[in-house]
Structures are given as C-alpha cells and as structure tokens.
C-alpha cells in the first residue's frame, strides 16, 4: 500500500492534479473563517447554542454541517454548496416532469452543459433567497433577549449579506468546477467532504476530554467503552463501503446479427442495479421535512412549532421512527425518479438485447421494476439504520452528538462514497501508467 502511494507522485500529471486539488481545498477552508461584515460573533455563537438546546437542531444545522461550520460562524461561505445541490436536485426532478428538459438531457454534452447552466442560475436565485431570510433571521432572533447579533440592522445589512453569501456560494461552485477540470475527483463532493472532515479535530478534543485520566470531573467514558466505539467505527465504515458498492447484476445477452460480411452483437454483459440508489439524498430530504417546523420556530416562536420541535428532539422515540420511515419513503421516491425501467427495456429491445428467460419489452420492464423494488428495500432499511445510528450511540454510550455523528448519518455516507470515487480515479491513472493499483486483486469500485 505504501509503495502504491509513492507511485502516485511518480506520475507527473497525477501529482499536479493532487497538488491543485489540495491547494483549492485549502482556499475553501480559509474562506470558511472570513466573517460576514456587521455580525456580533459571540452573540451568534450563543444563539446557535440556545437554538440547539431548545429545538434539538434546525435546517441551519444541515447547512452548518455541509459548510464545515461556516454557518455557525456566518462567514462568507456560510451557505456552503447547499444551494447548488438543491438546484441540481430540483433540475433533476424537473427533467422527469418537463418534456423539453427531458429532451435536453438526451442531447449529450451540449444538453448537459445547458442543464448545468440552468443549475448555476438556480444556485444564484436560491442563494439570494436563502441569504435574505438569513439576514432577517439574524436581525430578529427568537430566544436571545438582550443580545443583538447584527450591529446595524436594516436594508443595507440585508443587501450586503445577500451579496456576500451569494458571492461566496458562487465562488465555492467555481472552486468545485476547477477541481473537476484541473484536479482529481468530483470537486463539489470533495468540498462537502472537506467540510465534514474539518469537524474531526473538535470531535477528537471532546472525546479526549471525556476520556482524559487527568480530570476525573469530566471523565464520562471508560477505556472499555472507547474500545467498543473504535470497533463500531470500523464496522460502520466497512458496512457503508459494502452497501455503497453493492450491485445486483442483471445478465443481458445481445443477439448476433450478420450484416454483409460483418457480425454484430452476440456478446454478454450485465446491468448493474445499485442497492443504494438514493443514498444521502433520502437523508437530506427526510431531515429537511422534520426540521422545517423547528426552523420556523426559530423565526416565529409559536407554541405549535415549539411542541413539534420538542417532539423531534434527538433521542426521542417518535423522532427516530418518523425519521426512519421518511428515509425509506424518500429512497423509493428518488429511485423512482432516476430509474426508468420502461426506457431501459426499450433501449435494450432497440439494440437487440434481452435478459435470458425474459421476453423483451414490457415483461423486461416489469422484471427490472420487480428486482429494483426489492433491492431498494434492503438499501433503504440500511440507510435508515445508518441515519439513526448516531442517536443510538449518543443514548447508549452517553457521548456528545458531534462525536456520535461520525458513527453514521449523512457525513459517513458522503465521506466513504467520495473517498471511493477519488481513490478509483487515482487507481485508474496508476493502471494506465503500468503501476499496480491499491488492491492486488481486482479494482476499487466507485459509487457509479
């Protein structure tokens, strides 16, 4: 393994890509500490602490995780890349609904670039809307009597905040595209992963305080418990890796055709149906639905919102059950959006392909839908379990949620998936230049 990493830097082109990627990620992390003008940082930190205590989390908590803590400090990158992700998901859903977008998506590279341009426009619009409401939220925070977050509230502050946060998001989007073009890996995904990984030092510090043998007053975790946590962490990473790469391979045979003196077809291949098609998207949807009322409660302190927020506190059985059910439903919903068995069956029929034992056309579409429905159930149940596993760890081992969050949830799914994709790309460079890959037998599989 060490020899393989040394070989990585022997390939000049690959070495340049890795260095460029690392430098661009450093630029992103520096921007996460540049504050937005006109903000009282201490008051903002106190507000986040009270909101977390009162409501157990809001949608801003999701933004904070994806922005690597920039939202909590309200830096120029406070919105992170979430507006871009939201815009991409909206365009993906609209592509199924609007025929013109569906035709555009089938036009190859030109159609992809056009949809990508629409995604950028949507990112700007969503960033302006979100930053405007964040500015209003900062000017009139609930549950923070006597402390002002904004030094000089008014339209000047709102417009400045909108311009600052929107520009920050556009710059992050540009950084992601530069990593995609000049670096290695998926730029947007790497930026999200960098934000998630940036929380590790704080989590380790909290864990050290809870384990520290030098201060018995703060010691809450016994050495045996720490060993259990280490075993669980390794187990979670391994199982997430296996499920992320898990596929059901449907064999496909292409009929042999003789045209003149040439023979076409006759080969066998397979269709890889992923067990985890929705992945982290289902968790994001479920979190947004659950946390939206609590977010409204931080704007408008209504008893109904407060009641819902208390019901949806982490560790509450009702919250856990609703959260798990929503994730399973959204897994099926997203899979139905991105996987079209009828279109796949028609394309196979068009090129003379068939599944052995299944008639082409509608029977093939029904068979693919039958298989996908059942493997999605296994993937959805696993994703739901991984999503609620941090809550179980927090309740069982009595550790802070920041520490427990590394045992499951959105962060571990994104990090494992992105790392697999990046390592797969690096391995492809090694194999092209006649070096060994990271594995002696076989190759590393990415998510796609």
| Residue written as token pair 């661009």 | 24
Report whether pLDDT(395) > 80: no
Position 56 confidence tier, pLDDT thresholds 50, 70, 90: very low
Mark whether 46 and 109 lie in a shared domain.
Answer: yes
Asked whether the beta carbons of 444 and 437 are under 8 A apart, the reply is: yes
pLDDT tens column, 150-198: 878 888 888 999 999 999 999 999 999 899 889 888 888 888 888 888 8
How far, in Å, CA of 412 to CA of 416, rounded?
A: 6
Report whether pLDDT(23) > 90: yes
Whether residue 267 lies inside any domain: the answer is: yes
Report whether pLDDT(374) > 80: yes
Closest by CA position to 379, among listed 247, 249, 290 = 247
Give the CATH number of the domain where residue 259 resides: 1.10.3370.10
Mark whether 70 and 167 lie in a shared domain.
Answer: yes
**Higher-scoring residue by pLDDT: 179, 12:** 179
Mark whether 134 and 187 lie in a shared domain.
Answer: yes
Whether residue 341 lies inside any domain: the answer is: yes
How far, in Å, CA of 135 to CA of 155, rounded?
A: 9
Q: Which strand (E) or helix (H) includes residue 361?
A: none
Mark whether 241 and 211 lie in a shared domain.
Answer: yes
- Per-residue pLDDT, averaged over 394-406, amounts to 75
Mark whether 159 and 13 lie in a shared domain.
Answer: yes
Q: Angle, nearest 10°, between helix axes 223-245 and 409-432?
A: 60
pTM of the predicted protein model: 0.78
How far, in Å, CA of 56 to CA of 315, rounded?
A: 10
pLDDT tens column, 208-267: 777 766 655 556 677 777 888 888 888 888 888 888 888 888 888 877 666 666 665 567
* Residue 144: predicted pLDDT: 53
* Residue 178: predicted pLDDT: 92
Out of 254-258, 339-343, 377-381, 394-398, pick the least confident: 254-258
* Residue 55: predicted pLDDT: 46
Whether residue 23 lies inside any domain: the answer is: yes
Domain that holds residue 166: 1-192
Chosen domain end from 170, 192, 214: 192
Whether residue 182 lies inside any domain: the answer is: yes
Question: What is the count of structural domains for the chain?
Answer: 2
Whether residue 425 lies inside any domain: the answer is: no
Mark whether 369 and 248 lie in a shared domain.
Answer: yes
- Per-residue pLDDT, averaged over 278-300, amounts to 71
- Per-residue pLDDT, averaged over 319-341, amounts to 87
Whether residue 423 lies inside any domain: the answer is: no
């Amino acid at each position: 393994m060490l020899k393989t990493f040394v070989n990585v830097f022997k390939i000049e082109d690959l070495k340049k890509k890795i260095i460029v990627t690392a430098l661009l990620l450093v630029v992103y992390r520096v921007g996460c500490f540049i504050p937005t003008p006109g903000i009282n940082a201490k008051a903002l930190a106190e507000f986040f602490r009270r909101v977390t205590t009162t409501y157990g989390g809001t949608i801003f908590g999701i933004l904070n995780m994806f922005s690597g803590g920039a939202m909590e400090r309200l830096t120029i990158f406070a919105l992170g890349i979430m507006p871009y992700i939201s815009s991409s998901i909206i365009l993906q859903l609209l592509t199924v609904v609007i025929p013109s977008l569906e035709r555009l998506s089938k036009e190859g590279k030109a159609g992809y670039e056009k949809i990508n341009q629409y995604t950028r426009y949507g990112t700007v619009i969503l960033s302006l809307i979100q930053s405007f409401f964040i500015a209003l939220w900062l000017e009139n925070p609930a549950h923070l009597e006597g402390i002002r977050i904004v030094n000089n509230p008014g339209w000047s502050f709102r417009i400045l905040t909108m311009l600052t946060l929107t520009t920050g998001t556009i710059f992050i989007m540009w950084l992601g595209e530069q990593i995609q073009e000049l670096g290695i890996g998926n730029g947007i995904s790497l930026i999200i992963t960098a934000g998630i990984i940036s929380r590790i030092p704080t989590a380790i510090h909290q864990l050290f305080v809870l384990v520290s043998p030098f201060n018995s007053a703060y010691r809450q975790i016994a050495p045996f418990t720490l060993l259990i946590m280490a075993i669980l962490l390794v187990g979670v990473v391994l199982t997430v890796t296996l499920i992320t790469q898990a596929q059901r391979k449907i064999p496909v045979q292409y009929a042999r055709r003789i045209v003149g003196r040439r023979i076409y077809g006759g080969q066998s291949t397979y269709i890889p149906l992923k067990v985890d098609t929705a992945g982290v998207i289902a968790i994001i949807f479920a979190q947004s639905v659950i946390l939206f009322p609590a977010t409204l409660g931080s704007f408008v302190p209504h008893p109904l919102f407060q009641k819902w927020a208390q019901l949806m506190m982490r560790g509450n059985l009702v919250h856990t059950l609703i959260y798990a059910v929503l994730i399973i439903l959204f897994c099926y919903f997203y899979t139905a959006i991105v996987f079209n068995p009828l279109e796949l069956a028609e394309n196979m029929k068009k090129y003379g392909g068939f599944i052995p034992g299944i008639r082409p056309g509608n029977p093939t579409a029904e068979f693919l839908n039958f298989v996908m429905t059942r493997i999605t159930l296994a993937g959805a149940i696993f994703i739901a379990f991984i999503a609620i596993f941090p809550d179980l760890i927090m309740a069982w081992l009595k550790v802070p949620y920041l520490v427990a969050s590394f045992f499951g949830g959105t962060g571990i799914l994104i990090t494992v998936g992105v790392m697999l994709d990046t390592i797969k790309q690096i391995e492809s460079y090694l194999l092209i230049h006649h070096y060994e890959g990271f594995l002696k037998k076989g190759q590393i599989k990415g998510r796609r």
